[in-house]
Each structure stands twice: as C-alpha cells, then as structure tokens.
Amino acid sequence: MLRANLVPVSDVARPETAERLDLQPHPEGGWFRQTWAAPPVDLPDGRVRPSATLIWFLLPAGDSSAWHRVSSDEVWLAHTGVVTLELGGAGAGPQATGRALVGTEHEGQVVVPAGTWQRTVPTDADALVSCLVSPGFDFEDFELA
C-alpha cells in the first residue's frame, strides 16, 4: 500500500499518537481507527450501512492526503492541531473550490457534503480529528481521484 505522498507505508514509522491510539495507515494518507459504528440500516438504494460511524484521524505534520470522496456526509471534529481541508466540488474529478481549517482555534467542526472531493494539505504540526460519517462509512463508498 502507498500513502498519498507515495512513500510505502512499510517505510514510515508509526507516530507516537498513532501508537497510543492504535491507529493504522489510511489509504488516502494519515492514520485512522474506527471507534464506533451505529446499528445498521437499510438505505433507499438497497445498501446496508451503519447509520453512522466515527473514526480517529491523525495527520502528522507535513503529511497530506490524496483527493478522495465518500458517498455520505462527513463531519470533521477538531481535537488537536489544525487540518486544512481543500474542497474540490462534486464533479467527475476534483477542482479546488475552497478551503476549510478544522482546529479548535478555527472551526471546531466542518461538514463535507456527500460526494464532495476533498483532501488535506500539509500543516506544520500534527493534527488529530474525528470524522463522523452518516450513513456510515464503508470502503465500497470511498473513491480516490
């Protein structure tokens, strides 16, 4: 598996916060662990998903994620540091349309609507956030650009 900055995950030391929280590499970049999933529901299109899921997401200083989107709304919740989210619209491919700073001294929470391209861009400090996804996240609903 490769991280967004094309460094093989096996060549990257797991940060101390990732060790402490038992976070694993995320395919988009950064480190994550699902911490909660609500009971499953039947969606109108026939899929079955938890009604919501929650993860820890750690973005180490200088790291970034690849452009990606999910088919559910995503709420970013700040804990430490700042994550700079670049938003890329809902077209066939990402086209940078705006930025949001997720951090306790900026926006404590930011909503990324379902189907919106997004990526994180590097900052100079580690950032730890939670992401609440509803309907719940499933890698079948995850698309990398």
- Residue-level pLDDT at 12: 72
Write the pLDDT tens digit of every residue in 93-110: 999 899 999 998 888 999
Long-range pairs of 12-21 with CB within 8 A, sequence gap ≥ 24 = 15/58, 15/60, 15/126, 17/58, 17/126, 17/128, 18/58, 21/56, 21/58
CA–CA separation, 14 and 9 (whole Å): 9
Q: What is the pLDDT of residues 8-51, one digit of tens each?
A: 444 578 999 999 999 999 999 999 999 999 999 999 999 999 99
